[in-house]
Amino acid sequence: MRLDQFLSARTMDSRLELRQKILAGRITVDGTVMLRADQAVHPDTQTICLDGAVVPGDTYLYVLLHKPKGYVCSANEPGQHSVLELVPPSLSRKALQPVGRMDKDSTGMLLLTDDGQLSHQITASRSHAEKYYIVVLARPWEPYYAERFAQGITLSDGEQCLPARAVFIPGTDNQVLVCLHEGKYHQVRRMMAALGNHVSDLCRVAIGGLTLPPDLACGDCQLLYDEDVQKILKNKAILQACYKSFGKVRHN
C-alpha cells in the first residue's frame, strides 16, 4: 500500500495535505522519515507515525467515547455540536461514525467506528446488542414499573416496545438500571413518560458485555481493541458489574 493511500484512509487529511506533510518530514515509518508519497508501507508489520503519534494500522477503527451533554450524534446538524468534535486527530478517520444515536441531553457510552458491518450487527433488530442505562427519575420509583417494563410498554403514540428490564438501585429512591434490546427514538424517556414519570438524567453504562470504564472522563475517548469489540457482540448479564462500577449515575 502507498504511504499516502494508507494515511488518507486513516486520517482526516486530504491527499494534498498529506503530500505536504510528507514533504515536510512529518511522517516516519519505523523511526525513519519518509519523503515520498508513493513509498510502499506494510501497516501490519511497520509503525507509521504522523507528528510523532502512531497512526493505527488496523483496517477498521473502534473508539469508545464518554459522551457529555450538549452534543448530537450527527455531523450535519446546523448550529449543533457533534460528538465527532470530541475525537482527537489521532483517532479520527473520514468514515468514522457513531453507532446508533444518543439524545443530546444523555451521557455515557458511545461507540464510533468505520466498520459498517459491526455497526449493523450492533443495531440490527435481529441481533440488537443489549444496552444498559442508569436513569435518574424526577419522582420516586414505583415497584410496578419493573413489571410494566417486562411486559413491553406501549408508548403514548401507540408504538409498542419490546420487553425490557428495569431494576431499582438500592440506596436511592429514584434511580433505576434499565436494559433495552432495541433502540427507538428517545425510548427510555418515552417509556418512563408512559408510566407517568420523567427522566431527569440518563447515562448509558454498557453495550453488550462491555461497560463504560469508570476512569474515562466525560468528553474523553479511548481506542478499543478486538477483545473489547467481542465483548460488545456477546450479550451477557452484567447487572452486578454496572452496580459495582457506577452505583449512582454521574452527573456531567
Contact 62, 115 (CB under 8 A): yes
Q: How far apart are CA 23 and CA 35, in angstroms?
A: 5
Name the residue among 134, 136, 165 with its Cα closest to residue 149: 165
What would you measure as the largest C-alpha separation in the chain, in angstroms? Answer: 68
Contact 49, 55 (CB under 8 A): yes
Q: How far apart are CA 214 and CA 94, in angstroms?
A: 29
User: Exposed, middle or buried: residue 73 (CB in 10 Å: 0-12, 13-18, 19+)?
Assistant: buried
Is 226 catalytic? The answer is no
Catalytic: which of 4, 13, 103, 115?
A: 103
Contact 134, 205 (CB under 8 A): yes
C-alpha to C-alpha distances, 173 to 38, 92, 203, nearest whole angstrom: 63, 41, 17
Which residues have a catalytic role annotated? Answer: 103
